[in-house]
A and B are shown apart, each in its own frame.
Chain A
Amino acid sequence: MTEARTRNKVMSVDDAVARLEDGMTIGIGGWGSRRKPMALVRAILRSDLKDLTIVSYGGPDVGLLCAAGKVTKLVYAFVSLDSIPLEPLFRAARENAAVEVEEWDEGMFQTGLRAAAQRLPFLPMRAGLGSDVMTHNPRLRTVTSPHDDGEELVAVPALDLDVALVHMNRADEHGNAQYFGPDPYFDDLFCLAASQRFVSTEQIVDTAELTADAPVQTLLLNRMMVDGVVETRNGAHFTTCVPDYGRDEKFQKTYATAAADPASWVEFEQRFLSGDERAYQDAVAAFHAEQSGGN
């Protein structure tokens, strides 16, 4: 672990992405279309990065990165938009064999993150036995209990990450960060499994303010788990970041419809993804103004 951690870790989305390198294994927090660090994902889309291995409880992060040709390998248990079961860009990449895939069971996936977080080579579990998930993945091996039961278990290998990207409701400049929603997902495990950790947040506040109206248990991440803090308002858009905002279902539907058709996708990319984060947020605002009956 590094020592003499810098006190102020605030940086821009592009500063954070500039720390990433081609070929890295990048874990992305959140779950499906929920509290995804989308501003950081969009910054990767704008970058020259390539050959990434993405490890994710997949949502639009996975679809967008695959469609942009950033991904060589994908490690996941599912990829979904929640209210829209299939992520169309992921589906296209998977059906065109555009990326190498490693498909896990969700419990295994968590166990692999836990093993990495505990710096163990593997952890045993039962999930996956008898499933073809095991058949198609030579990394998933079994181990026999040395105790009297002699049971055969899955030896889930550690999901070691070079980088973790997560999005939280609030953070301070040191990297203490908290969530206000109903579920922490696995963001703490992603950070503990990674060598470099970047947190985007709706708002950076003073340390004391974090717990002024919220219990200390909402602080999922502490400063020892974080290397960079990025303030990105609406930075999880269009995924949920409750209670700050829910999922932008209207936008997600437009995204999914466009993604299912190559010609519409070019148009969508042109309109929303050709500029920086501010341009994206402006285009989203214009989209809603249009939808609500303006011109």
Chain B
Amino acid sequence: MSTETQAVSADGTAGAPVPEFTTDEMMTVAASRSLRDGTACFVGIGLPSTAANLARRTHAPELVLIYESGTLGTKPDRLPLSIGDGILADTADSVVSVPEIFNYWLQPGRVNTGFLGGAQVDKYGNINTTVIGGDYADPKVRLPGAGGAPEIAASCQEVLIVMRQSTRSFVESVDFVTSMGYGRGGDDRQRHGMTGRGPVKVITDLGMLEPDPDTRELTLTHLGPDIEVEQVREATGWPLQVAEELSVLQPPTDHELSVLRELKATIGGTS
């Protein structure tokens, strides 16, 4: 699937054979590990769906998968091709209407974790999926729009942002706040009456960023295996804060990698 197939070894040294994996695989595995067993996760097609199904097959068998199409607690034996894929309803605990998903599950805060991504994210975790550049009425780039993202951002108990990192996508300030993260930082989110905690992790192909407990500015807390701090700084459009105790993400285990690749193969992917 990935075009960024720069393979790295787990410990970066020669010696015992270690599984090789792509930075995208690392990103998917890191997202998967962030899902706790027994919780409910709002899943979109693509990386979130892959990560959630990987989690259910590894450390979180009781993870409840909710797709926007109204399937609650679905347990597909392959990756669904779209949110309308029949396998989601066939393997669900129950199926409700789309309005019910929004009214009774998302907005009341019954979903523990929501996944978001976008064209741009800024240093306070605000996301733009609407317009880039120029004027709102006459933008340079017109993006798909809000979809359900603002409500996921507002109401899920916590949000995981998963995006490949570059200066184009990680900007000082987004051109349009489609989905609020921490607004202008500090307690701005509470002032807006948001019930969910907001983005607790930004998982990228280079590592992981987490909000500072006070300022809420996204701070580099984990590096991907064999990634250098300087690489992450160069891919960030603002002067990146780095945690005093910087960790390195545990590389995917053999088991995680093999389950992930089996899953990807169910929709014709190879990696």
Q: Does B34 contact A (CB under 8 A)?
A: no
Interface of B is mostly: loop
Q: Is the CB of A216 within 8 A of B94?
A: yes
Complex CA gap A4/B64 in Å reads 11
Instruction: Determine whether the beta carbon of B89 is less than 8 Å from that of A216.
Output: yes
B107 close to A (CB within 8 Å): yes
With known contacts A4-B38, A119-B108, A216-B95, A223–B73 Cβ distance under 8 A:
yes
Tell me if B38 and A118 are in contact (CB < 8 A): no
Residue pair A118, B89 in contact (C-beta under 8 Å)? no
Among A4, A119, A176, A224, point to the contact of B107 (Cβ < 8 A): A119
Q: Mark B109-121, 1 if CB is under 8 A from A, else 0.
A: 1101000000000
In the complex, whether B151 has a CB less than 8 A from a CB of chain A is no
On whether the beta carbons of B95 and A217 are closer than 8 Å, the reply is yes
Q: Given A5-B62, A119-B109, does the pair A219, B37 have CB atoms closer than 8 Å?
A: no
B40 touches A224 (CB 8 A): yes
A145, CB-defined interface residue at 8 Å: no
State the Cβ distance, A256 to closest chain B Cβ, in Å. Answer: 36
Q: How many residues of A contact B (CB 8 A)?
A: 21
Determine how close the nearest CB of chain B comes to the CB of A260; give it in whole angstroms. 41
Expressed in whole angstroms, the minimum distance between the Cβ of A286 and any Cβ of chain B is: 39
Cα-based distance from A114 to B99 in the complex (angstroms):
12
Cβ of A19 within 8 Å of any chain B Cβ, yes or no, is no
Q: In A62-88, which residues have CB < 8 Å from any B CB?
A: none
Are B112 and A1 touching (Cβ within 8 A)?
yes
Chain B residue at minimal CB-CB distance from A174: B93
Task: Give, as a whole number of angstroms, the nearest-CB distance from A264 to chain B.
Answer: 44
What separation, in Å, do the CA atoms of A222 and B157 have in the docked complex?
Answer: 20
B72 interface contact, C-beta 8 A? yes
Q: Which residues of B contact A4 (CB under 8 A)?
A: 36-39
- B72 close to A222 (CB less than 8 A): yes
Closest A residue by C-beta to B97:
A217
Residue of chain A at shortest CB distance from B39: A3
Give B160 Cβ to nearest chain A Cβ, in Å: 16
8 Å CB contact of A7 from B62, B112, B157: B62
Q: Which residue of B lies closest to A207 (CB)?
A: B93
A236 → chain B closest CB, angstroms: 21
Q: How far is the CA of A71 from the CA of B39 in the complex (A)?
A: 36
A244 to chain B, nearest CB (A): 20
A216-B104 in contact (CB<8A): no
Docked Cα-Cα span, A1 to B39, in Å, equals 9
> Does residue B3 face the partner (Cβ distance < 8 Å to A)?
no
Closest chain A residue, CB of each to CB of B157 = A1
- B contact residues around A216 at 8 Å (CB): 89-90, 92, 94-95
A266: min CB distance to chain B, Å: 45
Interface size on B, residues (CB 8 A): 24
B6 close to A (CB within 8 Å): no
Please tell me if the beta carbons of B38 and A1 are within 8 angstroms of each other in the complex.
no
**B103 located at the interface, meaning its Cβ lies under 8 Å from any Cβ of chain A in the complex:** yes
Across the interface, do A221 and B94 meet the contact criterion of CB distance under 8 Å?
A: yes
**When A1-B157, A192-B104 are in contact, do A222 and B73 touch as well, CB less than 8 Å?**
yes
Instruction: Verify if A52 is at the interface (C-beta below 8 Å from B).
Output: no
A220 at the interface (CB under 8 A from B): yes
Does A199 touch B at the CB level, under 8 Å? no
Taking CB atoms and an 8 Å cut-off, the chain A residues in 201-246 that contact chain B are 207, 216-217, 219-224
Answer yes or no: A117 CB below 8 A from chain B CBs. Answer: yes
Q: Select from chain B the residue with minimum beta-carbon distance to A6.
A: B38
Query: For residue A219, which residues in chain B have a CB less than 8 angstroms away from its CB?
Result: 93-95
- How far apart are B193's CB and chain A's nearest CB, in angstroms? 12
Q: Which residue of B lies closest to A220 (CB)?
A: B94
Question: With A220-B94, A222-B93, A224-B73 in contact, is A1–B109 under 8 Å at CB?
Answer: yes
Contact mask for chain A residues 238-263; partner B; CB cutoff 8 A; 1 contact, 0 none: 00000000000000000000000000
Closest chain A CB from B103 CB (angstroms): 5
Cβ 8 A contact of A223, one of B64, B103, B157: B64
Within the complex, what minimum Cβ distance (angstroms) separates B170 from chain A? 31
Please indicate which of the listed interface residues B38, B90, B157 has the most CB atoms of chain A within 10 Å of its own CB: B38
Choice from A1, A118, A176, A220 contacting B104 with Cβ under 8 Å: A118
List 8 A-B pairs, minimum CB-CB distance, nearest first. Answer: A119-B108, A219-B94, A4-B38, A222-B93, A222-B94, A216-B95, A222-B72, A176-B93
Give 21 CB contacts A-B under 8 Å: A1-B40, A3-B112, A4-B39, A5-B62, A117-B104, A118-B108, A119-B107, A174-B93, A216-B90, A216-B94, A216-B95, A217-B94, A219-B93, A219-B94, A219-B95, A222-B73, A222-B93, A224-B40, A224-B73, A224-B93, A224-B110
